[in-house]
Amino acid sequence: MEKSYEIALATDSNYIIPTTVLLKSLFVNNCECEFVVNVLYLTDRLLDKDVCFLKEYIKQHGHKSRFLSVSEDILGNVPDCRHTKSTYLRLFLPQLMPIEVDKVLYLDSDIVISGSIVNLLQLDLDSYSLAAVKESINIYDKSYQVALGIPVVNDYFNAGVIYLNLKKMREDNAVSNCLSYLNNNLNVIKANDQDVLNGVFWGSVKYISPIYNFNYWIEKDIALQLFSKEEYKEVKTSPRIIHYIGPIKPWLFLSMHPKKKIWWYYLKQTPFKKYKPIGKNTKNIMLYPVFMVISMIKRNVTMKMKQQMGFLLPLKLKIDLKRCIFKVQ
């Protein structure tokens, strides 16, 4: 075995199946590695039986675990969101992790690992607070980035996959800075902890290849403003980490994610292999081909072309189309 690598994720009892799929894909594709899986959870949100299940599942695959229970009181006045308040737990990692642990890779649970991530785990963070992949908000809406206090010339990152330099973050009082930023910007932030991390660390980010976290819903012309042609080609053919960004997850019947089948492939290798897609009913079966066409348009039509088409459409029709597009992503 190589050295032990620290992985962190946040979950609750409603997310046990996706969490198990993530773990299975991680272990299968990185069998030469030994992991310590740090499971963050809010007290009373992860049942004892689920703690036992995850602990045993990780052990059966030859890895170690560390369960970090956090009282909801520690979060203070954080806003509710569709991800549940447990999404904010990553902000506390410098405080929650053992002091001897210098680095940890945090992963959202709506992820599969589709290849080796050893190169990422061996990345030298130098003097950076974290490593992450660029997200497209600074291209779609520069005013929002400015409202967050991030200079318009800087990039914005997705916080679903972040490699944290815990040593530096502790030295810089990162947890305190994040909480202060959160409390001072409650009226601005929309992407919860992701906005907080960007607002605090925008000047201390090491940007990494999109093969470790790509938003498959962004248009090609937008993606090529963020990444090189070589990076874009590689993420389409050989991603290492697939993050199912957006509200419609691959376990929902109406998901149109282009990498949806990969999630189900790893699910079939878990104790939940008989799990069925949520929402498979007559109405959604009829809607499926319509949503498929919409998703193809969403992924394959450039932003420039959409803007040109938008000038020709009535306002109400544009609003209805945007609603439909949002429903498939």
Q: What is the model's pTM?
A: 0.91
Task: Find the DSSP H helices in 172-248.
Answer: 174-184, 192-201, 220-226, 229-237
* 11-20: pLDDT as tens digits: 999 999 999 9
Q: Is the pLDDT of residue 329 over 70?
A: no
pLDDT of residue 324: 52
Angstrom CA distances, 167 to 98, 128, 151, 187, 233, stand at 11, 10, 26, 31, 35
pLDDT of residue 297: 78
Q: Is the pLDDT of residue 86 over 80?
A: no
Strand 64-70, strand 103-107: pairing = unpaired
Beta pairing partners, 161: 107
> Residues 94, 68: contact at Cβ < 8 Å?
no
The confidence band for 52, taking pLDDT boundaries of 50, 70 and 90, is very high
Lowest mean pLDDT among 26-35, 178-187, 213-222, 302-311: 302-311
Distance CA 202, CA 133 (A): 12
* 276-296: pLDDT as tens digits: 999 999 999 998 998 888 888
pLDDT of residue 126: 87
* 117-157: pLDDT as tens digits: 999 999 999 899 999 999 998 788 889 999 999 999 999 99
The whole-number average pLDDT for the span 55-74 is 94
Nearest to 15 by CA among 249, 240, 246, 197: 249
> Residues 215, 245: contact at Cβ < 8 Å?
yes
Q: Is the pLDDT of residue 38 over 80?
A: yes
Q: Is the pLDDT of residue 264 over 90?
A: yes
pLDDT of residue 314: 55
Could you tell me which residues come within 8 angstroms of residue 28 by beta carbon, excluding any fewer than 6 positions away?
A: 266, 269
Distance CA 163, CA 160 (A): 10
Say what percent of the chain tops pLDDT 90: 72
Q: Is the pLDDT of residue 306 over 80?
A: no
pLDDT of residue 15: 96
Higher pLDDT, 240 or 187: 240
pLDDT of residue 300: 74
Nearest to 161 by CA among 116, 128, 120: 120
* 97-111: pLDDT as tens digits: 999 999 999 999 999
Lowest mean pLDDT among 39-48, 78-87, 88-97, 137-146: 78-87
The whole-number average pLDDT for the span 289-316 is 68
Distance CA 294, CA 153 (A): 33
> Residues 163, 123: contact at Cβ < 8 Å?
yes
Q: Is 193 exposed, middle or buried (0-12, 13-18, 19+ CB in 10 A)?
A: buried
Nearest to 100 by CA among 153, 147, 166: 166
Which position has the token pair 């330099």?
165
Q: Is the pLDDT of residue 1 over 50?
A: no
Strand 205-207, strand 64-70: pairing = unpaired
- On average, the pLDDT of the chain sits at 89
Nearest to 189 by CA among 136, 154, 144: 144
Q: Is the pLDDT of residue 310 over 60?
A: no
The confidence band for 327, taking pLDDT boundaries of 50, 70 and 90, is low
